[in-house]
Structure 1
């Protein structure tokens, strides 16, 4: 399923320090609650001695997320998960999990200080991560001769299509993801080479 809204391009980690407390912020692309749980389990394995591992995520389109959640993990209510989620929502990004791992430095920060520290840690990683926007695509099924495979691959390289599968028999049958904005162009390309094609709606 392609997404026409920004999502994190990759996993990324950034560290900040506030009054000797270490805040390690991690961002990861997620599309399900199971992926969220897996990333959190990994964070707990990587940092078994951390005092808190607070987090927030939203799945789906920014502004109308299908699912969102947050957790203060023992910090005073509203001082960790909510500030992280607020920054995520402000950044207008979907399918994103931000975890902030805290090692206590001995100085209490107070509620306001915690809010600023967790928001700042989330901001540091959300600002640094690359974003990707996947355009909507339609799957096309193309039947062609062996000689037409290379031109088809070239069209995909130039236009952002992806050859998902190729079956070689008496003729070549390819499954191609075509950007929806270019369906007419793709149809014209196939017709020019006399290739049979159909779109899966």
Structure 2
């Protein structure tokens, strides 16, 4: 499985009816990292009235890694529209924090929804992304004579060799995407006449 993730951080700022909105976007892997990013922005803007937050902290389709907070704004007017904008982008491992300095004019619920959602959408237009391929890690032992064709096989199936140890035998730590796993295993078995197998890494 592959999806886009942020390549670098983005800041977008605008003023709406004297309120200042500053949108921060950043790559965050997991909700713990996302909440740490939120805390970091709060520390940078201690005088702001609100620090609203939303995160798609895993793959875009992983509903277990979603989070948001209205941070004192009326329920549903900040975190939800921010999260909707993030989900609409189909980008994973991304968090948005919108800082609001209140300007004395009430925006109403519709105005708040537009302000927070649009801030994230505008920031997303500035964002550079890169592709992330999700891989599982496996271990494999082979003989020295099998190393060359094994390395070529890894190249063919876009398998990453994350680590290797040369001792009596050679040990490889391989990162394999789910869609390449079965064909890779099948060719590995055929080429080694059933000698080589991969095991999930501990």
TM-score for the superposition, normalised by structure 1 = 0.76
- Residues of 2 paired with 1:116 and 1:35: CA distance? 27
1:153-196 per-position Cα deviation (integer Å, ceiling 9, x unaligned): 45545542111221221222112123343343565367547895
1:127-152 per-position Cα deviation (integer Å, ceiling 9, x unaligned): 4341534245462514131x654654
**Helix, strand or coil at the partner of 2:63:** coil
- CA-based RMSD of the aligned residues comes to 3.2
- Residues of 1 paired with 2:161 and 2:190: CA distance? 18
The partner residue of 1:165 within 163, 166, 170 is 163
Q: Is the 8 A contact 2:56 2:67 kept in 1?
A: yes
Alignment of 1:1-201 (within 5 A): 4=1, 6-19=3-16, 20-60=18-58, 62=60, 65-127=63-125, 128-130=127-129, 132-137=131-136, 139-145=138-144, 149=147, 152-153=150-151, 155-157=153-155, 159-183=157-181, 184-185=183-184, 187-188=186-187, 192=191, 196-200=195-199
Q: Is the 8 A contact 2:50 2:99 kept in 1?
A: yes
Unmatched segments (≥5 aa) in structure 1: none
The alpha-carbon deviation at position 101 of structure 1 amounts to: 1.6
- Residues of 1 paired with 2:14 and 2:184: CA distance? 53
The alpha-carbon deviation at position 84 of structure 1 amounts to: 0.7
Aligned length: 197
The alpha-carbon deviation at position 51 of structure 1 amounts to: 2.4
Identify which range, 62-71 or 169-178, moves more after superposition: 62-71
Unmatched segments (≥5 aa) in structure 2: none
